[in-house]
Structure 1
Amino acid sequence: MMHVGFWLWVLLLALAPASPVHGADRPQVRVTEGLIAGEWRGDLRVFRGIPYAAPPVGARRWRPPAPPEAWRGVRKAAAFGAACVQPAYPEDSVYFEPQMPMSEDCLTLNVWAPKVAVKAPVIVWIHGGALLRGTSASPLYDGGEYAKRGIVFVSINYRLGVLGWFAHPALSAESPEGVSGNYGLLDQIAALRWVRRNVAAFGGDPANVTVMGESAGALSVAYLLGVPRARGLFAKAIAESPNLRAVPRLREPAFGLAAAEGTGAVFAKTVGAKNLVALRAVDAERLTGAALAARFVPQPTVDGAVLPGQLVDILDRQEQARVPLLAGFNSGEVRSQRALVPKAPADAATYEAGIKRSYGDLAHAWLRLYPASDMEGSLIAATRDAVYGWASERLVRAQAAAGLPAYLYLFDHCYEAARARDLCAFHASELPFVFGRAESGLPPNWPAPGAAADSDLAEAMIGYWASFARSGVPSAADLPVWSAYGMEEAYMHFTDRPVADRDPLPGMFELHEAVMQRRRAAGEQWFLNLGPSAPPLAGSSAARLRP
C-alpha cells in the first residue's frame, strides 16, 4: 500500500495551476545559436539581451558585425544587454535618463511576444539619439502594448558615435570592400538578418517585418530604404521625425563636408594614435569623450558599397525599397532643440533684408510662411520644416510616386505639462502615444501627460501603428479613415484626437524642396543651412548680388 503522502502529493499536483507553455517556469525559445529562457509578464513572453552579433571589441572594433557564437545549455534572457558606449545627456535635458551599464559588447536585441503567436506581424524598433546616444533598454521603448495587440516587437542596440560611424584610410585598406564607416548601419542590417532567421521561433512572420524608428532611428529607417543589402529584410517602414541631410563621401569633400576618411584621420591624431593597433587599444569611453570634445558628427558615409549615394538622389531615381511607408513629424519639433534654431536678428527690417538676400526670388514664399512679425516663432517653424517636415513629406511623396502606399502624419498634440514649459509637441513627444502608454516609462524630466484624452489618443495612435504593421494600412475602429497621401496630399492630424485632413502646411514642402534643389546643384549643404544669415541661393537674384 502506497504511503498516504504520495496520494496527497498527487492531489496537490492535480489542483495546481497549469504550467506555462513549453512546460517551464520561464518561456523558452530555440534560436540559431542555442536555447534562451526569458520571463513571463502576464500572457506575454519577454526576452532581453539576446546577442545578434559577436562583441565588436578588440580587433573587431570598427569591423562589420560578425555572427554571434553558439552556446550550450539554456542562456538566460531576462535582463537587457549593456547600452553601447555613449556620452550622458546633460542632467537638465528633457531626454536625460539615468546612465545604464555601458560596453562595447552591446549588440543585443529584445523581444516581446504574445503567449501564443503564429505568423504574427513583427516590428523592429531602432532607437533615436542623434546616432550618439540611446539604448533599447529605455523604459520608453517597452514593446508590451504591441505584443498585447498580437505583434512580435523587437528592439535593438547598434554602435553609436565614433565607435559606430568612423571612417579612416587604414580601416578602408583592411576592408575587403575597400571602405569604412557605416558600422552602426551594418549592425542594424545584421539585426534584421537575425530577425529574418529567428523570429518564427517567437511566433513572428519573417515575411511581415516593419522597421520602425524615431529621430536617428527614423534617419536609419530612411537609409535602410536606400541600402541595397537591406532589401528583402523588411516589408514596411515607419519613420517618425526623419531628416534627409547630405552626408560625407568617403574620400572626397562634398556639399561642404570634409571627406569621411580625412575626418577620421584628423580625429585619430587628437587621441595620439599612430596606427590602427594603437587606435583600437584606446579605451572606448576615452574615445567617446574625445570625439564629443572634437565635435565628431556620427552619420552615414556615401562609400559606394554599403551606401551607394545621397538618399535624395536614391529617392529621385526611385531606387529605394518598394515597401509601404508611414512617416511624419511633430509641430513643435525644435522647441526641445533650440540649438538648431538660427538666432533672430535685432529687428524685423534686418530679418526681412536677410531673407531677401539669402533667398532671392524665393524670399516672398519664405516670408509668407515665416513672417518677420514673429521672428522667433518663424525661425522655430522654419527649422522644424527644413529638418523634419520637408524630409517626412519627401519620403512619403517618393513612395507614392513609385506607386506604393504611403501615409503622412502631423503630431500636434499639446497638454498642460508640455504647455507650461513651452514644449508643445516637442521632438519625440509622440513616443509615449505611439507606444500606447501616455503616462508610463517617461524619462525623469519629460513633461508627463495626464488627462483622459491623452490615454484615448495613445490608444488611437498605437491602433493605427499596429494595423499598419499588420496590413500596410493604418486603421483603427471608430476613428477617421487615414487615406494614403496620393494626389490629394492626405494626412492624419493628431491633435487631441485624430483628424483626417489635406496638405498639412501649404507651401512648406515646395519651398524647402526648391531650396534643397538649388543648394544640391551648387554642391552646398542644405541641412540647417537656413534663415536670414544663410548663404545666398545659387540661381536666385540674390546669388547674383554676391561679391
Structure 2
Amino acid sequence: MVRQLVILLALLLATGVAARGQTVVNTESGPVQSVTSSAECEVFRGIPYAAPPVGELRWRAPQPATPWDTVRLCSDWGPMCYPMMWARRGNFYAMEYRDTTAHVRVSEDCLYLNIWIPKGERQRLPVMVWIHGGAFWSGRASAREFWGDSLVAHGVILVTVGYRLATAGFMAHPDLAREAGTPGSGNYGLMDQIAALRWVRRNIAAFGGDSTNVTLFGESAGAGSVQALVSSPLCKGLIDKAIMQSGGGYRNIIFPVGRRWSQNFGKSLMKYARCPSIDSLRRVPIMTLNSLVLKLSRRHLKIPFVWPTIDGQVITESFGEATRRKHVLPIPYMIGYNRNDLVKPVMRRAARKWALMENAAGNPTWVYCFDRGLPGDKMKKPGNSGARHTAEIRYVFGTLASSWRPWRKGDWQLSQLMIRYWTNFAKTGNPNGEGLPQWRPYTHDDKCEKHFDITEK
C-alpha cells in the first residue's frame, strides 16, 4: 500500500512534465517517463525488463527486474552486451554501421528494451518487436538504424530488445543443465527475448499498445531468433505475426547446433580457462571468456560456436523438423532475402521453400527480395556495391538519414513503400493496403515474390 501511494505521488509530480509532451507510464516494476524523439514521437530508452544477469545470475534464466518507486526518466539507452569481437576498422559493416550516438555503454547488465510511441492519444495500437542481428555475437538494440520514429508515424508502437550475446548468451555446459534442472543449457539470449515478449504482453497496454497484436521481426541472427521463437514451445500465446529478414526459412544458414556438440564445447572452454567449476568460470570477466572462445575456435573450429543449441527446452528440434511436423506457430509470416545476400542461393531457396510449406499448412506467408544496390559504395571502397546483407534495414525503419550514403529520391520512396507494407502486416496480418501494388502469398500455384528496388538509378 505504501509503495502504491509513493508511485501515485510520483505520477502526480510528473504531471507538469507530461503536459510538456512527455509521458509517464506505470509499468509492473515502477513508473517510467519518456523523452521526445521527434515532433510526433516519444521514446522510452533503457527500460529494464529483467534483473541484471551478472554474478550468480550469469548463465541463468532471466529473473524479474527489481522494482522502483520514483519516476524513472528513460533518457539513456541501456548498455549493449559485450560482443564477441568488434568489427575491424575499414570492414564494410564497421563503416556501414559506425556509431552515430555520443556514447555506447557495454556491460553484462544488458537486459533493457526501448519503446517508441506516437504523441497524443493512443489506444490499442499494433506492436512491433525488433530483435537485432549480429551473428548472436554482437549488435545493440539502440543503434540509430533501428530508431522507430518513421514506423510509429504509420500507426504502430515499436519495441527494440537488448539481450545477452556471445559467451554470456549462449554458453552451454552439462553442469549448467544440472544446476537449472533442465534437459540442456545455453540459449540464455533467447530466454531473454522470451522474457521481453512476456513483459510486452503484460505491460504494453499501458503504453497504448494492443497486447494481443504483437509482430516479432528481425534480420540475420535476429531472423534466426524469430525462427527459433516461433518454433519454441515456450512462445505459445506470445507472438501474433512474424517477419524474417535474411536469416529464416527451411534449411537456412542459421541453425541450432546439437546439445552434445555445444556442451562439449563448453567443457573444452572450461578446461581452456583452467576453471574447475561453473562457479569459478562465473568469476572470469566475460570479455576474457569471449577472447578464449575465439582462440579455442580458431584452434579447433575456425569459427566461435557459442550459438543457439537444441537444448530440449527453448529449442526442442531443428527448424526444418518443426516445419515438417507443423510445430511452428500458426500465424501469418513475411520472409525475404537480399539480392547480394550471404550465401544467396541458400537464402533464396530457404525462404521460398518455407513459404510454400507454410502456405500449404494454412499459414499465409509472403516472400520478398530486396534488389536495391546501395548507392555510394564505390566512393568508399571498390567492389562493395550491391544489395548486400543488412542493406534493407534502413529502408524498413525509414532511417536513411542516419547514413552517409548519397540517397536518391527513389530511395526515400522505396523506404516509404516498405514501411507501409511492414506496418500493414503488423496491423492486419496482410502487407497489402490501399494504393499499394498487390503482393500475394507465395504458393505452389502462384509463386509471387515481391521485389523492392527503385525505378530510377
TM-score (norm 2): 0.88
Helix, strand or coil for the counterpart of 1:333? Answer: coil
Matched, 1:250 2:256: no
Given that residues 318 and 398 in structure 1 are in contact (C-alpha distance below 8 angstroms), is that contact kept between their aligned partners in structure 2? Answer: no
Instruction: Please list the CA deviations of residues 123-151 of structure 1 after superposition, one character each: whole Å capped at 9, or x if unmatched.
Output: 00000000000001110110111111111
Identity of counterpart residues, as a percentage? 36
Aligned counterpart, 2:339? 331
Matched, 1:471 2:428: yes
Superposition deviation, residue 20 in structure 1: 7.8
Matched, 1:141 2:146: yes
Aligned AA (2:426): A
Given that residues 184 and 313 in structure 2 are in contact (C-alpha distance below 8 angstroms), is that contact kept between their aligned partners in structure 1? Answer: yes
Aligned counterpart, 1:298? 306
In the alignment, the residues of structure 1 paired with residue 155 and residue 314 of structure 2 have an alpha-carbon distance, to the nearest angstrom, of 34
Q: 1:449 to 1:402 in 2, by over 3 A?
A: farther
Q: 1:75 to 1:286 in 2, by over 3 A?
A: same
Instruction: Please list the CA deviations of residues 196-244 of structure 1 after superposition, one character each: whole Å capped at 9, or x if unmatched.
Output: 0011011000100000000000010111111011111110001000143
2:279 to 277, 280, 284: 277
Q: 1:173 to 1:414 in 2, by over 3 A?
A: same
Given that residues 437 and 455 in structure 1 are in contact (C-alpha distance below 8 angstroms), is that contact kept between their aligned partners in structure 2? Answer: no
Aligned AA (2:200): V
Name structure 1 gaps, 5 residues minimum. Answer: 1-18, 252-258, 335-382, 499-547
Moved more, 297-306 or 104-113: 297-306
Instruction: Please list the CA deviations of residues 466-525 of structure 1 after superposition, one character each: whole Å capped at 9, or x if unmatched.
Output: 111111111254331111112211111112159xxxxxxxxxxxxxxxxxxxxxxxxxxx
In the alignment, the residues of structure 1 paired with residue 438 and residue 21 of structure 2 have an alpha-carbon distance, to the nearest angstrom, of 43
Aligned counterpart, 2:214? 209
Aligned counterpart, 2:92? 94
Superposition deviation, residue 394 in structure 1: 3.0
Matched, 1:495 2:457: no
1:309 to 302, 309, 317: 317
Aligned AA (2:452): F
Instruction: Please list the CA deviations of residues 315-351 of structure 1 after superposition, one character each: whole Å capped at 9, or x if unmatched.
Output: 01111001100010001113xxxxxxxxxxxxxxxxx
Aligned counterpart, 1:356? none
Aligned counterpart, 2:60? 63
Given that residues 114 and 152 in structure 1 are in contact (C-alpha distance below 8 angstroms), is that contact kept between their aligned partners in structure 2? Answer: yes
In the alignment, the residues of structure 2 paired with residue 76 and residue 422 of structure 1 have an alpha-carbon distance, to the nearest angstrom, of 42
Instruction: Please list the CA deviations of residues 271-313 of structure 1 after superposition, one character each: whole Å capped at 9, or x if unmatched.
Output: 1211111100001111122222323223211122221111101
Aligned AA (2:442): Y
1:460 to 414, 417, 424: 417
TM-score (norm 1): 0.74
Superposition deviation, residue 415 in structure 1: 4.5
In the alignment, the residues of structure 2 paired with residue 449 and residue 250 of structure 1 have an alpha-carbon distance, to the nearest angstrom, of 47
In the alignment, the residues of structure 2 paired with residue 43 and residue 494 of structure 1 have an alpha-carbon distance, to the nearest angstrom, of 28
2:344 to 384, 392, 399: 384
2:72 to 59, 70, 75: 75
Aligned AA (2:447): E
Aligned counterpart, 1:376? none
Aligned counterpart, 2:8? none
In the alignment, the residues of structure 1 paired with residue 415 and residue 434 of structure 2 have an alpha-carbon distance, to the nearest angstrom, of 14
Structure 1 residue ranges, 4+ long, deviating more than 6 angstroms after superposition: none
Superposition deviation, residue 176 in structure 1: 2.0
Correspondences of 1:446-457 after superposition (within 5 Å): 448-457=405-414
Aligned AA (2:47): I
1:37 to 29, 33, 38: 33
Aligned counterpart, 1:224? 229
Helix, strand or coil for the counterpart of 1:155? Answer: strand
Given that residues 457 and 497 in structure 1 are in contact (C-alpha distance below 8 angstroms), is that contact kept between their aligned partners in structure 2? Answer: no
Helix, strand or coil for the counterpart of 2:93? Answer: coil
The count of aligned residue pairs is 419
Superposition deviation, residue 68 in structure 1: 0.7
Aligned AA (2:156): I
In the alignment, the residues of structure 2 paired with residue 60 and residue 24 of structure 1 have an alpha-carbon distance, to the nearest angstrom, of 40
Superposition deviation, residue 85 in structure 1: 0.8
Aligned counterpart, 1:394? 353
Aligned counterpart, 2:386? 424
Matched, 1:182 2:187: yes
Superposition deviation, residue 395 in structure 1: 2.9
Given that residues 460 and 476 in structure 1 are in contact (C-alpha distance below 8 angstroms), is that contact kept between their aligned partners in structure 2? Answer: no
Helix, strand or coil for the counterpart of 1:292? Answer: helix
In the alignment, the residues of structure 2 paired with residue 24 and residue 460 of structure 1 have an alpha-carbon distance, to the nearest angstrom, of 33
In the alignment, the residues of structure 1 paired with residue 157 and residue 71 of structure 2 have an alpha-carbon distance, to the nearest angstrom, of 22
Matched, 1:130 2:135: yes
In the alignment, the residues of structure 1 paired with residue 438 and residue 257 of structure 2 have an alpha-carbon distance, to the nearest angstrom, of 41
Matched, 1:481 2:434: no
In the alignment, the residues of structure 1 paired with residue 455 and residue 227 of structure 2 have an alpha-carbon distance, to the nearest angstrom, of 28
Aligned AA (1:457): L
Superposition deviation, residue 172 in structure 1: 1.0
Given that residues 332 and 423 in structure 1 are in contact (C-alpha distance below 8 angstroms), is that contact kept between their aligned partners in structure 2? Answer: no
Instruction: Please list the CA deviations of residues 409-458 of structure 1 after superposition, one character each: whole Å capped at 9, or x if unmatched.
Output: 001112441465433100000111111233x223x7xxx24111111111
Aligned AA (1:316): R
Aligned AA (2:259): L
Name structure 2 gaps, 5 residues minimum. Answer: 1-14, 298-303
Aligned counterpart, 1:414? 373
In the alignment, the residues of structure 2 paired with residue 189 and residue 456 of structure 1 have an alpha-carbon distance, to the nearest angstrom, of 35
Q: 1:415 to 1:74 in 2, by over 3 A?
A: closer
Helix, strand or coil for the counterpart of 1:429? Answer: coil
In the alignment, the residues of structure 1 paired with residue 237 and residue 109 of structure 2 have an alpha-carbon distance, to the nearest angstrom, of 28
Q: 1:193 to 1:483 in 2, by over 3 A?
A: same
Instruction: Please list the CA deviations of residues 162-202 of structure 1 after superposition, one character each: whole Å capped at 9, or x if unmatched.
Output: 11011101111101224210111111100000000011011
Q: 1:71 to 1:169 in 2, by over 3 A?
A: same
- Which has more radius of gyration? 1
Aligned AA (1:441): S
In the alignment, the residues of structure 2 paired with residue 175 and residue 398 of structure 1 have an alpha-carbon distance, to the nearest angstrom, of 36
In the alignment, the residues of structure 2 paired with residue 451 and residue 490 of structure 1 have an alpha-carbon distance, to the nearest angstrom, of 28
Aligned AA (1:412): D
Matched, 1:441 2:393: no
Aligned AA (2:22): R
Q: 1:452 to 1:201 in 2, by over 3 A?
A: same
